[in-house]
Structure 1
Amino acid sequence: MIKQDPAHFVCQPEAERMLLDILDGAMEKNNHIRELDAALQHKTSCLLFDFLDHVSIGNREGIEKELEAVGFRQEEARPTYRVFGHPGAKLPKIVLKDHAQTIDGVAVKAESIAEYLMTRGVGGHIEGTPFSPYRRCLASADNEVSLYVVERRSTGSMEPIEEEPLAAKKYLLALEKWMTRPRAMDDEDEAMRLTLRLAEEIVREVGQDMAAWIVLEGERKFWQAKNRAGQLQKNRQDSLGMGWANHDHHTFRSSRQRFHLLVRLFEMLGFHLRERFYAGKDAGWGAQVVENERAQLVCFLDVDLDEQELDIDFAHGGLREREELGTIGLWCALHGDSILAAGMHHLEAQFLFEKLKDDLHGAGVAMMDPFSNFPYLKQAFTRGEMWPVSPYRVKRLVKEGKISSEEGERFLKMGALGSHLENLQRREGYKGFNKKNVSSIIRKTDPRSQQDTVAR
């Protein structure tokens, strides 16, 4: 049984086809775009489409009706162009220019334009101040088709943003504060209170959406420091200067008693509640999806959940502690909540599914069995990292009867399953997630059943 909120996403093949045709046309005219796509496939197991921010085309008779027919809607109007987005799909935007040829150009996202230019061995003028919400650089212009590289943080703007000199300092100080906050305190409730206060302070300093971007940038760094698959793949993507610009969503696990505070944190950062999951009484867990559309950020918030709690607002109401720990609860009891001591359970990014599996295998990183294998959605975890477990945490769990003495000894000797990288391939603009098969893979990440899920 799967229970979810009304949010419902369907495939949008016609909309994706329109974008792919534009991209193909751009590649035919601009060799640099075609070469970048080939390099991304070879070196990072990704498509250029996975990093595509927007495409630009010229206005012509009938184009608006064509855009609307496949689901695009006008989002913004500027003096010389309009911006169209697809509200029901995860797809790049289309910029419709008043005076331009049929295909004007494409823009790809990178975490750092400077790193992209350096690794590609090209120069260029970067518009927009460092660490501002939107920056861009013209990297190539062949046959009147442009390739732009953009940095996008917390805005949908298509115009480079010039900020006051102190803005970059505020950004870096906010990131530094988040990265150096106390995460592994003995009093986890106090650690959570301090985290909420810091988030509020960062929102005051840089604004809600930029604060969301900074928080998840810091969380990716912390997760990556503890995950070999993430380190390896990030290094591959950094070889072309792209960084994690292809990230899809960030997943946090939470204890029941602090779950409403985790939701509160993301609401403070401008996220709204999207669909929620419940995978059945045998699975014993649920999740709330949250999204900040302006910052283009999505998070999965996982928690142990009882069947009778389906009809309550479990995102906001406090959940009582249970006698038994489910998969999520035990993971948090052994390692700490994701937002505190443990870090994210996994980062999911968009890749060429089979190629990433083969390429990482060649580097010594294996994948678990897929839990989504549809033409429009493929998903699989890398085998999990084994993390050491605090003797204090094990002793407390044994004393409370949450785990057996034998399980405690095994965790102390072998460690317990920690984090993963998730391999994701989306097609046809599908924005949703697989709600039917995810339960089986979550059970395999239970520290009590860490067998074929462990990294070797």
Structure 2
Amino acid sequence: MRVLAPETSWTTFPEAERVVSLAIEEACVRAPILAALAERLRTLCALRLCDVVESLAGPFAPETLQKGGWLCEREGRVLGQVWRHASPYLPDMIVSARMAIVLRAERIEALLDALELDAPVEGAAFGPFRRTKLAGGGEVDVLAVERNGGRGLFAPALGARKERRGRLHQQIFRTRRRQFRAPEGGLDHLERLVEVAAADLGPDWACALFLRAEREYFTANCAPAALQQRRQERAGVGWANIDHYAYCTSREFLPAAARILSKLGFVSAGRIDDDGHDGALVLVQPTLRCAVMLEFDQAGAISSLDDVASLTWRYQAGLWAALHGESLLEGGLRYLAARCDVSAMAEHFSRDGVAVEPVSDAVEHLVQVAAAPPPRAVYPRRVDELERAGYLTPAAAETYRLSGAPAAHFRALARVEAYNGFAPPDYGAASALVVPDGMPPPTPKRRRMRVRQLQR
């Protein structure tokens, strides 16, 4: 039985945030290249330096780190004690006599070009881990890493065959088939691709390649995300500030979606059960330090994925999947959330003529805004089936037939006091689907719904 993690009580880490902020400020004072990069990120793409910091080294007191929530993970032979936080959104801390800061970049060459530096790069061009030194010899060592599933701070040896296999699996994920007559066949096909990649490369590297392909598919269908990607590429960091990914799944396919992600190294970190009809599973990839929200139609608490059944009604997540296709297949990501200076990001979008709106303020320690593209075209047959089944009002159905339906959006996010949690699924004006008033409460039913007809 696949037991779910209990509903999680998310919390804040103000002391940890203070320690990280002070360390970054001191590093910027001592290393001019850091101050210049911080200004570049702020000006070009509304990022803060802390959004791309992976680890910090310095003479940190173990008691201070322990008080902030870090745990000593290992005694490094070269680097000293390595402390990792329970929250995936706080950097590793390395106890060392010398100060150092390690930055993330999606592509190291892009960062070197942006900073007009010519530095050697360790690690294979398409490998799981690469690194370079941006500055050294002064008071602070400044390093940059490109992490695609590799662990530690040293590039592993990688033969030509393994490098070729990694590039091949990347192309397979990029070009995989997403449209199927029935979602079951599509999810089975995806699961086989994931199993082969994980067996060949390991789950962490396979996961990094899978998520890169997902981002590419997403940005091809979400103009605001593509715009922000170009900004961050000009700054040199690319998508180094990803906070989490959100998928919509029909309730009956939730177990399959969770199983596929588990084979990519994701583990259950909790669930969100609000008082309404929209819930989510939260999965975390420990090596990549990123999370996925699997949003689904909720009908009371569930303790095991084996107990999940279809519903007699579709709410927002189910309607989204029925209109656009399952998120892991044709539908793609519902949204991608990236950490940044939210106010500055909103100003950047406003200057470019992109409307943004606040996301639900149900969680005071999450500040979010959403930038949504125009509605996406949907198959009229799907709309017809949903209207006949009573899931859509006639007016909403006609709007979706002629103008499309809300689909993917980009989300800018800031975590106050290093908050490690998530807000309940929010289907605000930027992404809400229209459903009839007076919907009955959802009740599980064991027989299969007419999913195949709805998904065609």
Task: Tell me by how many angstroms 1:88 deviates.
Answer: 4.2
Residue 153 of structure 2 aligns with which residue?
158
Q: Which runs of 5+ in 1 are unaligned?
A: 450-456
| Number of aligned residues | 431
Residue 303 of structure 1 aligns with which residue?
296
8 Å contact 1:260–1:317 — kept in the other structure?
Answer: no
8 Å contact 1:250–1:299 — kept in the other structure?
Answer: yes
Residue 453 of structure 1 aligns with which residue?
none
Q: Distance in 2 between matches of 1:269 and 1:20?
A: 32
C-alpha distance after superposition, 1:202-232 (max 9, x if no partner): 1111111111211111111111100011000
Task: Tell me by how many angstroms 1:392 deviates.
Answer: 2.6
Q: Secondary structure at the match of 1:386?
A: coil
Residue 452 of structure 1 aligns with which residue?
none
- Residue among 238, 247, 262 paired with 1:243: 238
Alignment of 1:76 with 2:66, yes or no, is: no
**Structure 1 stretch 104-113 or stretch 377-386: which is displaced more?**
377-386
**Structure 1 stretch 287-296 or stretch 390-399: which is displaced more?**
390-399
**Structure 1 stretch 155-164 or stretch 283-292: which is displaced more?**
155-164
Task: Tell me by how many angstroms 1:385 deviates.
Answer: 3.5
8 Å contact 1:257–1:319 — kept in the other structure?
Answer: yes
Q: Distance in 2 between matches of 1:393 and 1:188?
A: 14
Q: Distance in 2 between matches of 1:244 and 1:238?
A: 8
Q: Distance in 2 between matches of 1:375 and 1:258?
A: 32
CA change 1:398–1:110 in 2 (3 A) is same
8 Å contact 2:357–2:430 — kept in the other structure?
Answer: no
8 Å contact 2:151–2:287 — kept in the other structure?
Answer: yes
8 Å contact 2:170–2:209 — kept in the other structure?
Answer: yes
Percent identity, aligned pairs only, is 24
8 Å contact 2:406–2:430 — kept in the other structure?
Answer: no
Alignment of 1:429 with 2:415, yes or no, is: no
8 Å contact 2:376–2:406 — kept in the other structure?
Answer: yes
- Residue among 313, 318, 327 paired with 1:329: 318
Q: Distance in 2 between matches of 1:4 and 1:368?
A: 32
CA change 1:430–1:234 in 2 (3 A) is same
Residue 447 of structure 1 aligns with which residue?
433
Alignment of 1:85-100 (within 5 A): 85-88=84-87, 90-97=89-96, 100=97
- Residue among 104, 107, 120 paired with 1:109: 104
Alignment of 1:293 with 2:286, yes or no, is: yes
Task: Tell me by how many angstroms 1:338 deviates.
Answer: 0.7
Paired AA for residue 291 in structure 1? V
Residue 368 of structure 1 aligns with which residue?
357
Q: Which runs of 5+ in 2 are unaligned?
A: 436-456
Residue 451 of structure 2 aligns with which residue?
none
Alignment of 1:416 with 2:405, yes or no, is: yes
8 Å contact 1:51–1:109 — kept in the other structure?
Answer: yes
Alignment of 1:144 with 2:129, yes or no, is: no
Q: Distance in 2 between matches of 1:264 and 1:31?
A: 46
8 Å contact 1:385–1:420 — kept in the other structure?
Answer: no
Task: Tell me by how many angstroms 1:143 deviates.
Answer: 2.5
- Residue among 268, 274, 279 paired with 1:273: 268
| TM-score scaled by length of structure 2 | 0.89
Alignment of 1:42 with 2:28, yes or no, is: no
| TM-score scaled by length of structure 1 | 0.89
Alignment of 1:24 with 2:3, yes or no, is: no
Q: Distance in 2 between matches of 1:312 and 1:320?
A: 15
C-alpha distance after superposition, 1:407-450 (max 9, x if no partner): 33221111100111111011322111234xx55x458623227x
Q: Distance in 2 between matches of 1:443 and 1:44?
A: 25
